[in-house]
Structure 1
Amino acid sequence: MSQTHPVLTKSAIRKLDIGNRLVLAPMSRASAQDDGVPTKNMANYYSEFAKGGYGLLIAEGAFTDNKFSQSYSNQPGMVTDEHQSGWREVTEKVKAHDGRIILQLIHAGALSQHVDRPHAPSAVRPQGNMLQGYGHKQGEYPIPEILSLQDVEEIKRGFLQASLRAQEAGFDGVEIHCANGYLLDQFLTDDTNKRDDQYGGSLENRIRLTCEIIRDARQNAPDDFIVGVRLSQAKANNSDYFWPNGIADAEIIFGSVANAGADYIHLASEKNGYAYHSYTKDNRNLTEYARELTGLPVIANGGMQDIELANSIIADSKADFVSIGKTAMINPDLPKKVASNNAVQDFTFDMFKFGVSIEAQQKWQVEAKN
Structure 2
Amino acid sequence: MSVQGSHSALEPGRIGDLRTANRLVVAPMTRVSAEPDGTATPEMAAYYTEFARGGFGLVVTEGIYTDSAYSQGYLNQPGLVSARNAAAWRDVTGRVHEAGGLIVAQLMHAGALSQGNPHRDGTAGPSAVKPQGAKMPEYGGSGPWPVPREMDSADIEEAVAGFVASAVNARDAGFDGVEVHAANGYLLDQFLTDYTNLREDSYGGPVANRVRLTAEVVEAIRAEVGPDWCVGVRLSQTKVNDFHHRWPGGVHDGEVIFAALADAGATYLHIASEGRNWIETAELEGGLTITGQARRVTGLPVIANGGMHDAELSAQVLGDGHADFVSVARAALVNPDLPRRLAEGGRLERFDRTLLEPMVTLDNARRRRRVLEAKV
Q: In the superposition, relative to structure 1, how do residues 131 and 282 fare at CA in structure 2: closer, same or farther (>3 Å)?
A: farther
Partners in 1 of 2:367 and 2:251 — Cα distance? 45
State yes or no: 1:138 paired with 2:142: yes
Identity rate, percent: 45
Residue 83 of structure 2: aligned partner: 81
Partners in 1 of 2:284 and 2:37 — Cα distance? 40
Match of 1:162 among 166, 173, 179: 166
Residue 212 of structure 1: aligned partner: 216
Query: Structure 1, residues 329-361: CA drift from partner, whole Å, max 9, x if none?
Result: 111100011111111112121334xx3225353
Please say if residues 203 and 249 of structure 1, whose CA atoms lie closer than 8 Å, have aligned partners that are also in contact.
yes
Q: Higher mean Cα deviation, 196-205 or 71-80?
A: 196-205
Partners in 2 of 1:235 and 1:365 — Cα distance? 28
Please say if residues 9 and 23 of structure 2, whose CA atoms lie closer than 8 Å, have aligned partners that are also in contact.
yes
Residue 24 of structure 1: aligned partner: 26
Partners in 1 of 2:372 and 2:23 — Cα distance? 31
Q: Higher mean Cα deviation, 292-301 or 216-225?
A: 216-225
Quote how far apart the aligned CAs of 1:314 are: 1.0
Letter in 2 for 1:87: W
Partners in 2 of 1:261 and 1:75 — Cα distance? 28
Please say if residues 270 and 303 of structure 1, whose CA atoms lie closer than 8 Å, have aligned partners that are also in contact.
no
Q: In the superposition, relative to structure 1, how do residues 330 and 156 fare at CA in structure 2: closer, same or farther (>3 Å)?
A: same
TM-score (norm 2): 0.94
Please say if residues 291 and 297 of structure 1, whose CA atoms lie closer than 8 Å, have aligned partners that are also in contact.
yes
Quote how far apart the aligned CAs of 1:365 are: 3.8
Match of 1:276 among 262, 280, 291: 280
Partners in 2 of 1:307 and 1:358 — Cα distance? 31
Please say if residues 240 and 274 of structure 2, whose CA atoms lie closer than 8 Å, have aligned partners that are also in contact.
no
Aligned positions of 1:86-97 closer than 5 A: 86-97=88-99
Residue 355 of structure 2: aligned partner: 351
Partners in 1 of 2:286 and 2:280 — Cα distance? 11
Please say if residues 79 and 85 of structure 2, whose CA atoms lie closer than 8 Å, have aligned partners that are also in contact.
yes
Partners in 2 of 1:358 and 1:308 — Cα distance? 34
Quote how far apart the aligned CAs of 1:313 are: 1.1
Please say if residues 33 and 77 of structure 2, whose CA atoms lie closer than 8 Å, have aligned partners that are also in contact.
yes
Partners in 2 of 1:341 and 1:368 — Cα distance? 20
Paired residue total: 366
TM-score (norm 1): 0.95
Residue 67 of structure 1: aligned partner: 69
Greater relative contact order (CA < 8 Å, ≥ 6 in sequence): 2
Please say if residues 57 and 100 of structure 1, whose CA atoms lie closer than 8 Å, have aligned partners that are also in contact.
yes
Residue ranges of structure 1 left out of the alignment (5+ in a row): none
Match of 1:336 among 340, 346, 364: 340
Partners in 2 of 1:89 and 1:153 — Cα distance? 31
Q: In the superposition, relative to structure 1, how do residues 262 and 3 fare at CA in structure 2: closer, same or farther (>3 Å)?
A: farther
Partners in 2 of 1:231 and 1:92 — Cα distance? 28
Partners in 2 of 1:194 and 1:142 — Cα distance? 17
Residue 129 of structure 2: aligned partner: 124
Residue 327 of structure 1: aligned partner: 331
Quote how far apart the aligned CAs of 1:196 are: 1.1
Letter in 2 for 1:164: V
Query: Structure 1, residues 312-335: CA drift from partner, whole Å, max 9, x if none?
Result: 211111100000001101111000
SS in 1 for 2:262: helix
Residue 151 of structure 1: aligned partner: 155
Quote how far apart the aligned CAs of 1:3 are: 8.0
Please say if residues 349 and 373 of structure 2, whose CA atoms lie closer than 8 Å, have aligned partners that are also in contact.
no
Partners in 2 of 1:51 and 1:3 — Cα distance? 23
Please say if residues 188 and 207 of structure 1, whose CA atoms lie closer than 8 Å, have aligned partners that are also in contact.
yes
Partners in 2 of 1:53 and 1:203 — Cα distance? 39
Quote how far apart the aligned CAs of 1:190 are: 1.1
Match of 2:187 among 183, 195, 208: 183
Partners in 2 of 1:189 and 1:203 — Cα distance? 8
Letter in 2 for 1:257: L
Residue ranges of structure 2 left out of the alignment (5+ in a row): none
